[in-house]
């Protein structure tokens, strides 16, 4: 059943990406391969996995006492216009989990979805398909468990199908207008063509070029899709939640990044991993990145 | 070093940081157990590999985070070369920590 949230296993479907311009000739632009996008049946709504912010939690508590009754029928739920300013959306819709129905300007149902944060999902839809996103019905599901959400979604879907005889266009198989695609993770960069190939350039120079030619580079333990250390995992999580384009290099990859750990420690004068570089400069490890992220400083740094 | 092996790494870290940074507060917590299954540690059977360190020192004044962390790493370079794998560092000045001087 679970196809829309798809943590595809890494490596096999990825093409290799090397950072070794001299030996690869014209193939210096890394090729990106995308994961095959699984076909989701219409029975599979997507869940928005945005973490709830502090204000969401407050709203949630307030709502808990209110929303004790069972989910309303789709036909009984109130049709709420989507504010034109996206800033106003979180004040109009709750930032908690539930089922929601998106209607176009003719009040035709376009899409039924479930979300862990209804307001955030509406913001995202409004942004990606404003023309189809005129008003919303929502039903809060108190128990954010996926089964409970799916149940709520099914009941609305069944109601709609029995009333109209059709599936909302956005929920038809193959329609990807509304469903957020699984994140397309880039493969990690490889510094050398392999441990048995003699380098024509010192590894240190390769590191230097890599961090200077790419805005954000994270040297991590393990791959970005499967970090092998909690700190590296945190770094990947932070960079991804900032939505920043970054390159990752696996310092444990003995085949393609042999000798990297020791060389990088010297290059950056930093004894531990992960290490994050922005605009060619070491900004630190997991602690510093976390601290900057929590203070909101990271956003500013990444904008530069 | 004669003291090695007699004292725990935690107490060595603590005394090194305390004396060199003239720290108001040094807290060292051995969290190696949390990383027992960690790739880099798993096979070596090493212990005393991961620590949380909290330091409050006037010497951090005017230094950015990278510099503060480097100061700590520099003081602990012996340890880092002898099996210390990772330190989570919180480095603040007394003012930042809300302590009055």
H runs (alpha helix) in chain A: 21-24, 54-66, 89-92, 118-128, 146-164, 203-213, 230-241, 260-268, 286-295, 297-303
- Residue-wise pLDDT tens digits, A169-184: 999 888 888 876 655 6
Of B39, B80, B89, the CB nearest to A221: B39
Give the per-residue pLDDT at A269.
94
Chain A residue numbers touching B88 (CB-CB < 8 A) = 231, 286-287
Q: Looking at chain B, how many residues does it have?
A: 101
Of B38, B69, B80, the CB nearest to A288: B69
**B27-101: in CATH 3.40.50.300:** no
CB distance A259 to A206 below 8 Å: no
Give the per-residue pLDDT at A168.
94
Could A230 and B35 be called an inter-chain contact, meaning their C-beta atoms sit closer than 8 Å? yes
From the CB of residue A17, how many other CB atoms can be counted at a distance below 10 Å? Answer: 18
**Average pLDDT of chain A, as a whole number:** 80
Q: Which residue from B minimizes the CA distance to A262?
A: B81
CB distance A245 to A30 below 8 Å: no
A241 shares contact with chain B (CB less than 8 Å): no
ipTM of the complex: 0.84
- Residue-wise pLDDT tens digits, B44-69: 556 788 999 999 999 999 999 999 99
Give the per-residue pLDDT at A30.
39
Give the per-residue pLDDT at B100.
59
pTM of the model: 0.58
A301 shares contact with chain B (CB less than 8 Å): no
* Token pair listed for A92: 């109009």
A226 shares contact with chain B (CB less than 8 Å): no
C-alpha A290: how far from chain center: 18
- Residue-wise pLDDT tens digits, A126-141: 888 889 999 999 999 8
Please, which residues 243-282 of chain A have a Cβ atom closer than 8 Å to chain B?
252, 269-272, 282
pLDDT, mean of each 10-residue run, chain A (304 residues): 40 57 43 37 47 47 45 91 88 91 94 90 88 93 83 93 93 81 76 85 93 96 90 93 91 93 95 96 95 92 84
From CA A87, how far away is CA A91, in angstroms rounded? 8
Give the per-residue pLDDT at B5.
55
Collect all residues with Cβ–Cβ distance below 8 Å to A222 and sequence separation of at least 6. A228, A229, A232, A250, A252, B39
Could A286 and B73 be called an inter-chain contact, meaning their C-beta atoms sit closer than 8 Å? no
Give the per-residue pLDDT at A16.
63
Q: Chain A: nearest CA to B88, how far in angstroms? A: 6
Query: Sheet holding B50-56: strands in order across?
Result: B25-30, B50-56, B86-92
* Token pair listed for A79: 């049709």
């Amino acid at each position: 059943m679970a196809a829309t949230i798809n943590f595809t296993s890494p490596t096999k479907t990825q093409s290799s990406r090397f950072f070794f311009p001299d030996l690869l000739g014209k193939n210096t632009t890394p090729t990106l391969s995308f994961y095959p996008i699984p076909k989701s049946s219409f029975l599979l709504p997507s869940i928005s996995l945005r973490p709830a912010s502090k204000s969401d939690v407050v709203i949630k508590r307030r709502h808990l006492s209110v929303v004790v009754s069972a989910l309303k029928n789709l036909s009984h739920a109130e049709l709420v216009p989507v504010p034109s300013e996206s800033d106003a959306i979180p004040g109009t819709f709750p930032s908690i989990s539930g089922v929601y129905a998106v209607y176009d300007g003719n009040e035709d149902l376009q899409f039924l979805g479930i979300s862990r944060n209804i307001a955030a999902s509406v913001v995202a839809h409004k942004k990606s398909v404003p023309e189809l996103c005129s008003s919303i019905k929502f039903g809060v599901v108190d128990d954010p468990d996926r089964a409970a959400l799916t149940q709520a979604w099914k009941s609305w879907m069944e109601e709609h199908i029995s009333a109209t005889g059709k599936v909302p266009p956005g929920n038809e198989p193959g329609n990807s207008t509304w469903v957020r695609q699984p994140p397309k993770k880039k493969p990690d960069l490889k510094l050398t063509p392999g441990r048995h190939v003699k380098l024509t350039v010192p590894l240190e120079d390769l590191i230097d070029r890599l961090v200077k030619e790419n805005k954000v580079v994270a040297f991590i333990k393990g791959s970005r899709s499967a970090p092998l250390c909690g700190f590296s995992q945190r770094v990947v999580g932070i960079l991804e939640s900032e939505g920043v384009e970054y390159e990752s290099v696996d310092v444990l990859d003995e085949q393609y990044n042999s000798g990297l750990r020791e060389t990088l420690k010297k290059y950056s004068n930093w004894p531990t991993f992960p290490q994050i570089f922005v605009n060619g400069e070491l900004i630190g490890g997991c602690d510093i990145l976390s601290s900057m992220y929590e203070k909101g400083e990271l956003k500013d740094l990444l904008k530069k | 070093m004669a003291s090695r092996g007699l004292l725990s790494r935690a107490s060595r870290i603590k005394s090194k940081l305390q004396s060199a940074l003239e720290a108001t507060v040094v807290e060292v917590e051995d969290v190696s157990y949390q990383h027992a299954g960690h790739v880099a540690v798993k096979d070596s059977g090493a212990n005393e590999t991961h620590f949380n360190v909290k330091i409050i020192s006037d010497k951090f004044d005017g230094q950015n985070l990278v510099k503060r962390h480097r100061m700590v790493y520099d003081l602990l370079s012996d340890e880092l070369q002898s099996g210390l794998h990772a330190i989570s560092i919180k480095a603040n000045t007394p003012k930042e920590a809300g302590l009055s001087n």
